[in-house]
Amino acid sequence: MAGRGKLIAVMGDEDTVTGFLLGGIGELDKHRRPNFLVVEKETSLAEIEETFRGSRGAGPWRVLCALTLSLFPVRRGFLAREDVGMILISQALAEQIRPAVAAHARALPAVLEIPSKDHPYDPARDSVLRRARGLFAPDELR
């Protein structure tokens, strides 16, 4: 990625993702993989976690992923892609895959939980904010 910046990836409901795409963040990499995922009612939890993490067969969906492995090409998740520097994920969606979000400990790509139209932001459920608060003593925040 010499000479180029990193991409912002976004995962969420149709309205949230469309807003960011209209803002200009949509892009395909050289393998024609998009940097966004629109989650609909039919989107499986396995597909959401695979798009975020990129590991087929992780979690309780191992059998389902093994069955679909021959039907669909393997996609690298946003965490595994070197061209992604930040992942914006709606907080409601992050709650569905909380173990995968909480397991991410690297600085890049940064994972930020954002509100969506139907689900307002709740700082108490934001794992990144909880970690950031743990870095500082209460006296330093004044």
- Cα angle 111, 32, 92 (rounded to 5 degrees) comes to 30
Tokens of 102: 């909480």
Q: Give 10-residue mean pLDDT values along the chain (142 residues).
A: 75 92 89 90 91 63 42 67 91 90 87 86 75 64 50
Residue 63 vs residues 43, 55, 59, 81: alpha-carbon distances, Å: 17, 13, 10, 24
Does the pTM surpass 0.85? The reply is no
Instruction: State the pLDDT at residue 55.
Output: 59
CATH superfamily membership of 7-56+73-133: ATPase, V1 complex, subunit F (3.40.50.10580)
Domain boundaries, the chain: 7-56+73-133
pLDDT tens for 93-108 read 999 998 998 888 888 8
Residue 123 dihedral angles phi and psi, to the nearest 5°: -60, -25
**Helices 62-69/45-53 angle, 10° precision:** 80
